[in-house]
Amino acid sequence: MNIKHIDFSTIREDFSIYEIESGLVLRTKQIVTDIVVETTEDNKKMTRLGTRDVSFVVVTDVNKIDTTNFEISSPDNVTEKDQLSELKFTHIKEVVNIYETDSALLFLTSKVQKIFLTNKKDNVGVPILRNEILTGFNLLSKDTLNVHQPSYSAPILTKSELDIYSERFLCELCKQTNRMLETSRRKRDIYDGLRLEAFLEKGIPQVIDEIVQDLIIKDMIAHGNNRDEIRLTLKGLSECKECK
């Protein structure tokens, strides 16, 4: 097996923000520390990421939580055994961080699933939290971006139409894949499932390209087994819950 470490640069690396009960705010991000491409003897390639969690807690109301009896520690030394209770939270901002290699853009998605209060605090008295994070990534070839840049004289869809049809297209993909990340479907099958009658047949390929490009840029979908197929990304899957 051949292992190659890929050089990369950071385009965006921002915090997701979650407001927690008990007067706390969690700011957290997963950052890429290494990109490794493994090539097997039969020339199959697999990309693996090294990531690191960067998080800190902001106390917005000191009267809502008493850490007097909490032991001073550090996040690296806190384990599941130190958890006291699961905390309710709402997301304020969830970010897709973006990295660039010579040949591709990498979109790193992370979404906090659970947050737990522990019996530990840092040296300034801020409670130490533990969280469970679902992380996924999508590699988008720069060649793919070039292929899918509009080559038409003018777009068919207006901005408002694109927003509406992209949302419907994503929901139809959720439906046809049964919300499974590993399942791909033909772009045209998803479009046909919408049963739109607003466009002439000769304009449909451009409409599909405009919708698919919009959703790829938003990191909602990715290409499947070939350029005619698409699949959900982790971020797109999280949006499926909004589909009726």
pLDDT at 24 over 70: yes
Asked if 104 contacts 135 with a C-beta cutoff of 8 angstroms, the reply is no
Instruction: Give the neighbor-by-neighbor strand order of the sheet with 229-232.
Output: 185-186, 229-232, 221-223
Give 193's pLDDT tier (boundaries 50, 70, 90): very high
At 129 the pLDDT is: 95
3-state SS string over the chain?
A: CEEEECCCEEEECCCEEEEECCCEEEEEEEEEEEEEEEECCCCCEEEEEEEEEEEEEEECCCCCCCCCCCEECCHHHCCHHHEEEEECEEEEECCEEEEECCCEEEEEEEEEEEEEEEEEECCCCCEEEEEEEEEEEEEEEHHHHHHCCCCCCCCCCCHHHHHHHHHHHHHHHHHHCCCCCCCCEEHHHHHHHHCCCCCCHHHHHHHHHHHHHHHHHCCCEEECCCCCEEEECHHHHHHHHHCC
* Domains of the chain by residue range: 2-141, 148-242
What local confidence, expressed as pLDDT, does residue 8 receive?
Answer: 93
Mean pLDDT score, 72-81: 93
Predicted pLDDT of residue 140: 82
* pLDDT, the chain, mean: 87
Q: Select the more confidently predicted residue: 130 or 227.
A: 130
Share of the chain above pLDDT 70, in %: 93
- Structure confidence by residue, pLDDT tens digits, 107-157: 888 889 999 999 999 998 999 999 999 888 888 887 755 444 444 446 788
pLDDT at 226 over 80: no
Q: Which CATH number fits domain 148-242: 3.90.220, 1.10.1060, 1.10.10, 1.20.120?
A: 1.10.10
